């Protein structure tokens, strides 16, 4: 049985199986199913446009929504099975949950917010949960979590005296303090300003890797998905349309609808080779590209290089002097007509699309198999450092 | 001044408030969190005393606890006397009559607690009941105080229901408002005026201190 096979997680990982349907009064419906292995400290991104149902699926995983029909299984624990009438409430799932807004308990101090869930064992706590991960010996103490999140000094304050970034850090500490087996993050960075967002993303990544807690992150932000995700599930119209490693999904969208949701850029996994004088040199499949430096990276860093198809130009012979930094030998793989525009798929050591007018294509006499030069300006390559 | 009537009214108001605290909180909890579609019917029944003449309510309570009803007969068999024209009978009527003054503020305050706070608490392993105790109750102090004070003040001044169910037995069922009525009937305007003034001042002080408390920040920290 293929389903059973995919549930077999590695010795450390935990498989999440979900196959549910849920109808809502307004006509919206969730019909989602996927199996994925959540490795310790890894992040699964639910990615998709607003209103696609990402948050609802997360709430189904949390046990805050009950599906009309279906099963949810985490490791060897059945959280929901409507045919057998099995249901675990959120209390016995041992998850951590962080919303878009901090939603701290306003009548409790920061310290009492963070320790709120510690030492709480539901009376009907099922024994099987112990098999998945021993909870008696958390990796990090509360003090260590506070220190790593930089909120060690806030203990006696009340939530109303915190900035948005501080409050969200406290909410994270509160979710992680009872040592959950799975952390659920519902756009937790969306309400923060850009610098706070970037810092918190980095800290969350570090924390998860330290504790080994797997996480599910809901986001509609490509940059966030690329920076934080290890695996991703693309959610469109209440359905999970594609599941896989982030590189694999961005590199090979299963169909045009998914490609549209992911955006039109080529997303190429790359490594920083050198950086000097405002120009970064990266390696994509051993092909070197020059990139204008927008944010600091160091040699050895792993990045995603994003290139829009309209920023790729095609030359039939190497031009002499031009400001364009990247000239790559390429072979035309295919040409697809999109009205007056043609989409030319090139292989230049990695796959990339170029959008050109039909007239250009005719003047340059481009055809599949032809050898050309792909030109990409250094300023047209956007790097997303991987956290 | 009719001190025995005043003392009786205070005892009745205190007992009514205690009973309403014990029954009103679970009832309000059920109204707010129950998924039942027909709960609007319960809400309507709870609100009835707001619009019903006290005599109508009193009449039905009198019938329900009297020797004509199985409940009344059963009580009489156990206690050795009937419920009408006793303090206990008066208490039952008062609880029903003041029910909306407790349950409605409780309900409004429970419903105003951000649902995501409850979800955060549940996800941290805290049961629904413990979440209610640790999150909803502390965040509903204003509504609870309002309900308590209104129940107390409302019971202190009730007249029609008392007259129907309790009659006018000194020290047993003759409350302040009945005593004032008696004074006026016997043309003792001076006594009526003293007792009325006392009731007016007490009621005003209670309400004024409640509203001033509600203004202060410590009751419910806001963001």
First-to-last alpha carbon distance for chain B, in angstroms, is 49
Q: Contact A132/A76 with Cβ under 8 angstroms?
A: yes
Give mean pLDDT, residues B71-80: 86
* Confidence at residue B99, expressed as pLDDT on a 0 to 100 scale: 95
Q: Which of residues 108-127 of B touch A (CB under 8 A)?
A: 114, 116-117, 119-127
% pLDDT > 70, chain B: 96
CA distance B219 to chain A (A): 9
pLDDT range class, residue B85, cuts 50, 70, 90: confident
Q: Which long-range contacts (CB under 8 A, 24 or more apart) does A291-294 make?
A: A291/A378, A291/A381, A291/A383, A292/A378, A292/A379, A292/A381, A294/A382, A294/A383
Do A106 and B221 lie within an 8 Å CB cutoff? yes
Residue A12 confidence (pLDDT) = 60
| Residues B127, A123: C-beta atoms closer than 8 Å | yes
Q: Is the dihedral of CA A336, A320, A276, A379 positive or negative?
A: negative
- What confidence score (pLDDT) does residue A318 get? 54
Among chain A residues, CA nearest to B223: A160
pLDDT in tens, A47-100: 998 889 999 999 999 999 999 999 999 998 999 999 999 999 999 999 999 999
What pTM, to 2 d.p., does this model score? Answer: 0.80
Question: What confidence tier does B139 reach under pLDDT thresholds 50, 70, 90?
Answer: very high
Q: Which residues of B49-88 are buried (b: 16+ CB within 10 A; e: fewer)?
A: beeeebeebbeebbebbbeeeeebeebbeeeeebbbbbbe
* pLDDT value for A255: 80
Specify the pairing of strand A351-357 against strand A302-307: unpaired
Q: Is A306 helix (H, G, I), strand (E, B) or coil?
A: strand
Say how many C-beta atoms besides its own lie within 10 A of residue A84's C-beta: 9
Closest B-chain CA to A182: B123
Place of tokens 């696609």: A52
d(CA B128, CA A305): 48
Spell out the per-residue pLDDT of chain A, length 387, in tens. Answer: 333 333 344 456 789 999 999 998 888 899 999 999 999 999 999 999 888 999 999 999 999 999 999 999 999 899 999 999 999 999 999 999 999 999 999 999 999 999 999 877 543 444 444 434 444 567 788 899 999 999 989 989 999 999 999 999 999 999 999 999 999 999 999 989 888 898 999 999 999 999 999 999 999 988 899 889 999 999 999 999 999 999 888 877 888 788 888 886 788 889 999 988 889 999 998 899 999 888 788 899 999 888 888 889 898 875 555 667 888 889 999 998 877 888 899 998 998 989 888 888 888 888 899 899 999 988 888 888 888
pLDDT at A5: 34
B117, B125, B130 member nearest A105 (Cβ)? B117
| Angstrom distance (rounded) from CA A254 to CA A34 | 15
The chain B residue lying nearest A116, using CA atoms, is B124
Task: Copy the structure tokens of residue A140.
Answer: 């990090």
CB contact under 8 A, B117 and A103: yes
* CB atoms B135 and A105 under 8 Å: yes
How far, CA to CA in Å, does A250 sit from each of A218, A223, A261, A323, B35?
Answer: 17, 12, 10, 29, 42
Give me the residues paired with residue A266 across strands. Answer: A307
pLDDT tens for B46-60 read 999 999 999 899 999
Pinpoint the alpha helices (H) of A123-238: 129-132, 142-148, 164-176, 194-211, 222-228
Q: Is A263 left (phi over 0), alpha (psi -120 to 50) or beta?
A: left
Mutate to test the interface with B, among A87, A105, A159 (most CBs of B within 10 A): A105
């Amino acid at each position: 049985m293929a389903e059973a096979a995919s549930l077999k997680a590695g010795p450390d990982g935990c498989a999440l199986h979900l196959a549910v349907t849920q109808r809502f009064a307004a006509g919206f419906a969730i019909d989602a199913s996927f199996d994925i292995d959540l490795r310790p400290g890894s992040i699964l991104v639910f990615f998709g446009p607003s209103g696609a149902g990402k948050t609802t699926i997360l709430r189904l995983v949390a046990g805050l929504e009950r599906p009309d029909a279906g099963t949810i299984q985490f490791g060897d624990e059945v959280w929901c099975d409507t045919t057998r009438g099995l249901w675990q409430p959120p209390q016995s799932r041992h998850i951590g949950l962080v919303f878009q807004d901090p939603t701290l308990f306003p009548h409790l101090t920061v310290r009492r917010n963070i320790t709120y869930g510690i030492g709480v064992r539901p009376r009907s706590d099922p024994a099987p949960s112990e098999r998945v991960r021993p909870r008696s010996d958390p990796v990090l103490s509360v003090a260590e979590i506070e220190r790593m999140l930089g909120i060690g000094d806030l203990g006696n304050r009340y939530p109303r005296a915190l900035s948005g970034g501080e409050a969200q850090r406290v909410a994270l500490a509160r979710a992680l303090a009872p040592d959950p087996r799975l952390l659920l993050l519902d756009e937790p960075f969306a309400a923060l300003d850009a610098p706070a967002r970037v810092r918190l993303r980095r800290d969350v990544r570090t924390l998860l890797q330290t504790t080994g807690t797997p996480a599910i992150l809901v986001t509609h932000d490509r940059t966030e998905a690329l920076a934080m995700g290890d695996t991703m599930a693309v959610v469109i119209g209440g359905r999970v349309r594609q599941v896989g490693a982030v590189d694999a999904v961005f590199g090979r969208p299963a169909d045009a609808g998914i490609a549209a949701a992911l955006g039109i850029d080529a997303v190429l996994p790359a490594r920083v080779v050198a950086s000097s004088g405002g120009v970064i040199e990266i390696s994509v499949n051993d092909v070197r590209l020059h990139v204008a430096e927008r944010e600091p990276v160091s040699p050895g860093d792993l990045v995603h290089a994003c290139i829009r198809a309209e920023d790729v130009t095609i030359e039939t012979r190497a031009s002499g002097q031009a400001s364009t930094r990247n000239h790559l030998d390429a072979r035309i793989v295919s040409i697809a007509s999109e009205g007056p525009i043609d989409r030319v798929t090139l292989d230049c050591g990695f796959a990339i699309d170029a959008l050109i007018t039909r007239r250009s294509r005719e003047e340059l006499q481009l055809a599949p198999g032809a050898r050309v030069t792909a030109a990409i300006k250094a300023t047209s390559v956007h790097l997303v450092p991987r956290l | 001044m009719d001190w025995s009537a005043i003392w009786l009214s205070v005892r009745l108001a205190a007992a009514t408030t205690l009973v309403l605290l014990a029954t009103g909180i679970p009832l309000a909890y059920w109204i707010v969190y129950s998924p039942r579609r027909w709960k609007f019917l319960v809400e309507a029944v709870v609100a009835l005393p707001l619009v019903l003449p006290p005599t109508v309510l009193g009449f039905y309570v009198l019938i329900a606890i009297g020797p004509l009803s199985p409940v009344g007969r059963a009580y009489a068999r156990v206690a050795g006397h009937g419920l009408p024209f006793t303090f206990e009978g008066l208490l039952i009527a008062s609880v029903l009559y003041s029910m909306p003054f407790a349950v409605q503020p409780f309900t409004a305050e429970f419903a105003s607690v951000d649902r995501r706070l409850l979800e955060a608490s549940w996800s941290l392993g805290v049961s629904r009941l413990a979440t209610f105790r640790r999150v909803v109750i502390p965040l509903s102090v204003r509504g609870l105080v309002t309900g308590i004070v209104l129940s107390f003040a409302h019971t202190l001044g009730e007249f029609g229901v008392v007259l129907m169910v309790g009659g006018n037995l000194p020290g047993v069922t003759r409350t302040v408002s009945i005593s004032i009525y008696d004074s006026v009937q016997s043309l003792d305007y001076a006594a009526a005026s003293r007792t009325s003034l006392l009731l007016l001042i007490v009621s005003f002080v209670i309400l004024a201190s409640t509203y001033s408390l509600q203004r202060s920040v410590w009751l419910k920290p806001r963001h």
